[in-house]
Amino acid sequence: MRFRQIVLIVFLVGAFWYFTSHRSPARLALSGADPVVDHSPLALTEAHAAPAYDSEELANISVYKKALASVVNVTSSVVAYDFFYGAVPQQGQGSGFILDPQGRILTNYHVVANARQIEVTLDNKHTYKAKLLGSDQAHDLALLQINAPDLVPATLSDSRGLIVGQKVYAIGNPFGLNGTMTTGIISSIRSVKGPQGALIENAIQTDAAINPGNSGGPLLNSRGEVIGITSMIATGGGADQNAGIGFAIPINTAKAVLEDFSKYGHVRRPSLGIMPLAIGPDLAEQMGLAADSGVLILRTVPGGAADRAGLRGGKERAYLGNTEIFLGGDLILGIDDQPVTNTQELSEVMNRHEVGDSVVVTFLRGQRKLTARVVLGEAGGSQT
């Protein structure tokens, strides 16, 4: 029995040696072996007509072609200091757009702040040294000028009456990628704190992708007209890139700033001299106010326009979320017979006036409806 087992083992080992040593590789090939190579010409299926664009694509292309030549790349050079107080040159990049054939360009203040040298690169790749003509830190705006031929000015629209849901386009130089266009909608219109900490009223919130390098570039409507100046982004997780929430300064605010530059050489914004809070029905009910809407005066600036006219701010400290407010102040209902139900409408009234103009303010003090004539002062900081 043991002899038979030994013979069987020898037979199996011998058979395995024979088949692995003497069979050809071709016979041992598996079914998944490499296919036979076909050396015949490769025939591609190509379109036999020019590509057709739908109406939305055509609109996008039209906006881009109209606006691109007006958008510029702004490079600023500043000097920082290292740990040993050694001078270290640094560069920052942003965008801007051409205002007139004389070479005036609008951008953000934070793009050129403290710059020792500013250069502007046009769409045709030519670069020119730029001069800072004026700046408005509160509104985060700066006016530059270059000496260059054949400039194409942007077309400025009117930012009044913008509607949430309206389509918008942003063109700029995110991360130094010149001539980049992104699209989105107006997500909201709200007041936000700008990069310099001052309040930007009626800022245009958009979901169009805005990234570092877009700052100062135009936000456009579907006709390729400028409705805002892209200024900042909400980063959410802290990364310095788009998180789907960007903000632009309304172009009407920029127009008012430019008019002041032209008249006075600096910005003179008219102001009531108040810290305002927009009131809606819910807040009005919680605060026990006698009207459903208006602008509550939280504080008056000492010696400011409202203070001189006898308007009053609040004295009772309270919190709206995490924000400290003061209750008990006058509630503004209108100016010059025009209803004022929120800070956006108040800002629009201010933009139609100049420092020194006289306006009639209608307001509630408790249950009493009163009026006061106010001579507008000059704004500063976060006052309106």
pLDDT for residue 321 is more than 70: yes
Domain boundaries, the chain: 69-145, 167-264, 270-378
Written as six digits, the tokens of 95 are 């965008």
pLDDT in tens, 159-199: 988 999 999 999 998 888 888 999 999 999 987 877 766 66
Give the Cβ contact number of residue 201 at 10 Å: 23
Fold for 69-145, please state it: Thrombin, subunit H (2.40.10)
Q: Do 60 and 69 contact (CB within 8 A), yes or no?
A: no
Q: Do 267 and 344 contact (CB within 8 A), yes or no?
A: no
Fold for 167-264, please state it: Thrombin, subunit H (2.40.10)
φ/ψ of residue 103, rounded to 5: 95, 15
Fold agreement between 69-145 and 167-264: yes
Structure confidence at residue 48 (pLDDT): 75
**Is the domain covering 270-378 a CATH 2.30.42.10 domain?**
yes
pLDDT for residue 158 is more than 60: yes
More confident site: 116 or 26: 116
Buried b (16+ CB within 10 A) or exposed e, 265-282: eebbbbbbbbbbbbbeee
Sequence-ordered list of residues with C-beta below 8 angstroms from that of 108, at least 6 positions apart, any chain: 94, 140, 141, 142, 195, 215, 216, 229, 231
pLDDT in tens, 262-311: 888 878 878 899 999 999 999 999 999 999 999 999 999 999 999 999 99
Query: Which are the catalytic amino acids?
Result: 110, 140, 215
To the nearest 10 degrees (0 to 180), the angle between helices 251-264 and 343-351 is 30
**327 burial via Cβ count (<10 Å: 0-12, 13-18, 19+):** middle
This prediction has a pTM of 0.66
